[in-house]
A and B are shown apart, each in its own frame.
Chain A
Amino acid sequence: MFTIDKLYQPQNIAEAAELLTKYPDITVLGGCGFLKLGNRKIATALDLSLCSLAEISETEQYIELGAMVTLRDVEVNPALNQFFDAVLPKAVAHILGVQFRRCATIGASVYSKYGFSDILPALLALDTEVELLRSGRMPLVDFLAKPISRDVLISVRIIKDSRRAAYQNLRNAGADFPILNAAVSRYEKQWTVIVGARPARAEIAVQASQLLSDMATDSIDIDKVAATAAAELTFGSNNKASADYRRAMCQVLVKRAIGEVLA
């Protein structure tokens, strides 16, 4: 059972920024699903639900998801279902049930950088940026690479382009965490191959992506790309599967995801 001594509910981002300065150790509350698993004793907590961050907005150029947008919002959003072969709704649909997804937020899901995330591979397959209260806007891939702490994720922005994308995952029970997952996208001639839940966090397979991008569309050697991804990424063992099995499955999922994009 976790405890919170003092809760702050700022009315806007500026107030949130002040609180972050005043209380460097403040804990930002997301969907609270994982928070409540621990026995954390939280002195000060920050709730962003009054900061108007629960909207998905769409412009000519991008789709923007406020940090408090729920995974269920993502799943049913018309724009996200219209673009990128609905890769993001398809990825979040695997996460437990509707009532969980109605609690879990996109901000916490991205900021926490979970290894088992279904969302990160899909987001990495897209042209995604995140905006942080202190660190500002940056590509998602940079955010994932940087050790960022004591910041607040405000929004996730996805550039609207004509990208094709696919998400693949291997789970045993349907509501379990993935043993491994993968996403692949193609935007014009640029392919991106991502593998997650290795069990380490989703990562772009740079060589495989390059190799695939360099191949002519009519002579794509999917097996070679898949083998390259399996060779260049690291895989670990945990309760769900061994590293060797994950490496083998990496080839299968990448192959299937590429096939789906080509279909």
Chain B
Amino acid sequence: MKLELLINQKNYELEAAPDEMLADALRRLGMLSIRKGCDTSCCGLCTVWVEGNPVLSCTMPAFRAQGKTVTTIEGIQPEAEKFARILAAEGSEQCGFCSPGFIMTVIAMKNELKNPSEQAIQHYLAGNLCRCTGYMGQMRAIKTYLGGEVQ
């Protein structure tokens, strides 16, 4: 089927099978930050925004994004880099494989929640697994990024 997607503020027309997931379509279009870590909708690696909301691109069929705006980390590089520098100062990107999905969720959280508590941050990010860091450094980085307003 023919789809029209606005990805990272650029129009894309693509031919997608009805069983193609958004993650696969995005990788096919060159958004190589999209990674699959679990195949069971558990890990959050493939997180992108559809209409500004974080979704699992591995779980959303591509056709459901028809006519919608899709944002991957390639589309918000300056902001992603700003947070990535803080994350790297903590050493908490480690292998980096989960970082794009994690950063997409962190920035979505920043857009959605005002002055979140540590508990609210943990809850918002509960769908982003990381096997390297043990999460503590990620939290330190988020607190720095949010400007020290976290309780």
Residues of B within 8 A of A45 (CB): 18
Query: Could you say which of A7, A72, A97 contacts B128, with CB atoms under 8 Å apart?
Result: A97
* A4 near B18: Cβ-Cβ < 8 Å: yes
Residue B83 lies at the interface, judged by CB distance under 8 Å to chain A: no
* Contact indicator B56/A103 (Cβ below 8 Å): yes
Residues of A within 8 A of B39 (CB): 36-37
Q: Are B42's CB and A96's CB within 8 A? A: yes
Report the nearest B residue to A2, measured CB to CB: B19
Interface residues of B (CB under 8 A from A): 1, 17-19, 21, 39-42, 44, 47, 50, 53-56, 58-61, 63-64, 105, 108, 123-128
A-B contact pairs, 13 of them (CB 8 A): A1-B19, A4-B19, A5-B18, A32-B61, A36-B59, A96-B126, A96-B127, A98-B105, A98-B108, A99-B55, A99-B105, A100-B41, A100-B56
> What distance in Å separates the Cβ of B143 from its nearest Cβ neighbour in chain A?
19
CB distance from A66 to the nearest CB of B (A): 15
Closest 6 CB pairs of A and B: A97-B127, A7-B18, A4-B19, A4-B18, A99-B54, A33-B41
Contact digits for A12-48, partner B, Cβ 8 Å, 1 yes 0 no: 0000000000000000010111001100001001010
Give the distance in Å from the alpha carbon of A98 to the alpha carbon of B124 in the complex.
6
Contacts of B42 in A (CB 8 A): 96, 100, 175
Please, which residues of chain A bring their CB within 8 A of the CB of B56? 33, 99-100, 102-103
Q: A52 on the interface (CB 8 Å rule)? A: no
Contact with B along A129-161 (1 / 0, CB 8 A): 000000000000000000000000000000000
Cα distance A47–B53 in the bound complex, in angstroms: 20
